[in-house]
Structure 1
Amino acid sequence: MSLSCGMVPGHDLGPDSILRIGGGCSIGRGSHIVAHQSIDIGDHVFTGPYVYITDQNHVYDDPDVPIGRQWPRNSPVSIGSGSWLGAGAIILPGTTLGRQCVVAGGAVVRGEFPDHSVVAGVPARRVRGYSPELGWHTPVTQDATMR
């Protein structure tokens, strides 16, 4: 497993935490967490092996400049307490997972997902949810393949 915060040795990271991993977490072997702005992982989050979590991505705004030479863009990541990230899941910048979420193995996740979501796919979508009224249910979707 590797943890990386900031960009270069001696870089002033400011007064706020860049990476917070809550109590009782288990990070799977071969996983990588790369934080530049803000990654917040709640309590009792478990990951399978080879999970990748980052709050930074390359941009390709200027078609005349090589992508690797364009300044990357950051967007905070938050993973709610009690969540489970399956083997090989990729959590991209700007992702917010609520509490008690399940991310399927191999999913590529970007976006906001409420508490008790099950997300799967590339790109990841919410495939199940929980509410006191309905219990565990498949969310209504316009995609007939999800029914």
Structure 2
Amino acid sequence: MPGRVRRIITNIVLMRHIVPARTRVTMMAAIGYEIAPTAVIRSRTLIKTSRLKVGERSFINHSCFIDDGEIVLGAHVYVGPRTVFAATTHEIGHSAQRAGRSVVDSIHVGDGCWIGANVTVLAGVRVAAGCVIAAGAVVASSTEADGLYAGVPARRIRDLPT
């Protein structure tokens, strides 16, 4: 199924509040997304990419934004509401228009991560396995495993037990 058609079906039909989460995931897998059958994706999430991969027992809460590019969430990843995976950025243009040519990159979130509410993960970032990203953080660079990250930009606050 072409990516555009897949995105239209997903965002207009499947992301409605009345569609049960299990039905949503089953239908998304049927139209070509790589979504584990045990994953949960809540309503009102806007999915621009046709290259979304969600691992076993992962959970995406309500009203998230998943941009173009390859977005990969490992197993047991929990994503808080209103999280943004912003995989598109721009080259810096001349002074008359600073937002130059669009550049799309991937975002990878490792197994076992917990991404808090209202987090923004930017293009090209890899969140390593076992990390916690505090609510409201902006993850502008890749992380190291098993750390608590917070702030704008997100910084490692402390080590987490393995």
Whether the 8 Å contact between 2:77 and 2:112 is mirrored in structure 1 is yes
Aligned CA distance change for structure 1 residues 66 and 124 (closer, same or farther; 3 Å): closer
- Classify the secondary structure of the residue corresponding to 2:108: strand
Match of 2:123 in 1: 93
Quick check: 1:123 aligned with 2:123? no
Whether the 8 Å contact between 1:39 and 1:54 is mirrored in structure 2 is no
Match of 1:41 in 2: 73
CA distance in structure 2 between the aligned counterparts of 1:66 and 1:114, rounded to whole angstroms:
32
- Name the aligned partner's letter for residue 79 of structure 2: T
Unpaired segments ≥5 residues, structure 2: 1-44
Quick check: 1:56 aligned with 2:88? yes
Unpaired segments ≥5 residues, structure 1: 7-17, 137-147
Cα deviation, residue 60, structure 1: 2.4
CA distance in structure 1 between the aligned counterparts of 2:121 and 2:153, rounded to whole angstroms:
11
Deviations 1:17-73 (A, max 9, x none): x2211121110111111122x221101110111000121113323223362xx3211
Aligned residues: 118
Percent sequence identity over aligned pairs: 28
CA distance in structure 2 between the aligned counterparts of 1:76 and 1:30, rounded to whole angstroms:
20
Cα deviation, residue 115, structure 1: 1.1
TM-score norm. by structure 2 comes to 0.67
CA distance in structure 2 between the aligned counterparts of 1:111 and 1:104, rounded to whole angstroms:
15
Match of 2:135 in 1: 105
- How much is the aligned-residue C-alpha RMSD, in angstroms? 1.7
Deviations 1:112-142 (A, max 9, x none): 2111011100011111124xxxx58xxxxxx
Match of 2:23 in 1: none
Quick check: 1:4 aligned with 2:27? no
- Classify the secondary structure of the residue corresponding to 1:59: strand
- Name the aligned partner's letter for residue 89 of structure 2: N
